[in-house]
Structure formats: C-alpha cells, structure tokens
C-alpha cells in the first residue's frame, strides 16, 4: 500500500451553473460525496474559488475556477508493472496486468497505469490514453 501526496481537482463553472451556492454546486456535480462531506471539506478550507478559500453559501459565477484540495490517502494495493509492446515518437502501446486501473478515480491516483507510465520516463510525462481496458482486465 502507498500513501500518495493528495491531489487538487479543478473545475470551471459553466454559465448555466452561475448563481449556485458553492456547497450546492459540489453536491450536484460530485455525487461521490454527501452534502455533509462537502460541507466538512468547505469548513476545513479544502474548497477554493479562484484560489481563495470558499464559503458554503458563496455564489459561484460563470468562469470561476473551483478547486478541491484532497489530502493524502492510502491507496489499495495494485500490480504496478506494465510491459512496453511498441513505442515510437507518436505512440506507446503497453500491456497491463489485471488489477491495475488505467485512469485516476476512486481510491486510485498513484496506483494507475497512467501515473506509472508518466513516472517511468521523462519522455512519457505527457502521455494520455487513447484506449483503455478496465481495471479487472489485462492486455
């Protein structure tokens, strides 16, 4: 198991969501957490609007940049190896084991194929998946 460094999630407010309270915006758009959990994050100063700590009742405006500063957490164990099948200046094809998630989500940030590929070589730092297999699938 690995404890990561945490993550900052960013979102930009669209015109149709202008006028929503910060709390209501997060509850409506990020349903993985309850209103009580979002309110706690706001009270801890983990939610920001345009770089400054937000209040739950603050109204968002079109174009505002919202940030959620999630602190470090311990990620579930996962196989972290991958095999390079093909690599040239434009394409990297890899074979991943079952159990390795491709993209950050849920409890996974460092224990993902994307993170491992980017960390494996400076030339791969901007890699992005074109196709992905589910966590339970190898290939």
- SS3 for the chain is CEECCCEEEEEECCHHHCCCEHHHHHHHHCCCCCHHHHHHHHHCCCEEECCEECCCCCECCCCCEEEEEECCCEECCCCCCCEEEEECCCCEEEECCCCCECCCECCECCCEHHHHHHHHCHHHCCCCCCCCCCCCCCC
Encode pLDDT of 44-101 as tens digits. Answer: 999 999 999 999 999 999 999 999 999 999 999 999 999 999 999 999 999 999 999 9
Q: pTM for the full model?
A: 0.77
Encode pLDDT of 111-122 as tens digits. Answer: 999 999 999 999
Please report the domains of the chain, with CATH numbers, ordered by start residue: 2-70 (3.10.290.10), 76-124 (no CATH)
């Amino acid at each position: 198991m690995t404890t990561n460094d945490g993550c900052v999630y960013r979102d930009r407010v669209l015109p149709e969501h202008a006028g929503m309270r910060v709390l209501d915006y997060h509850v409506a758009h990020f349903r993985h957490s309850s209103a009580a959990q979002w309110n706690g994050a706001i009270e801890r100063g983990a939610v920001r609007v345009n770089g400054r700590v937000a209040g739950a009742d603050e109204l968002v405006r079109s174009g505002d940049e919202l940030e959620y500063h999630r602190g470090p957490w311990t990620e579930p164990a996962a196989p972290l190896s991958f095999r390079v099948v093909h690599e040239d200046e434009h394409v990297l094809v890899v074979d991943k084991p079952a159990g390795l998630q491709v993209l950050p989500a849920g409890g996974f940030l460092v224990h993902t194929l994307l993170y491992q590929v980017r960390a494996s070589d400076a030339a791969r730092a901007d890699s992005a998946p074109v196709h992905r297999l589910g966590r339970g699938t190898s290939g």
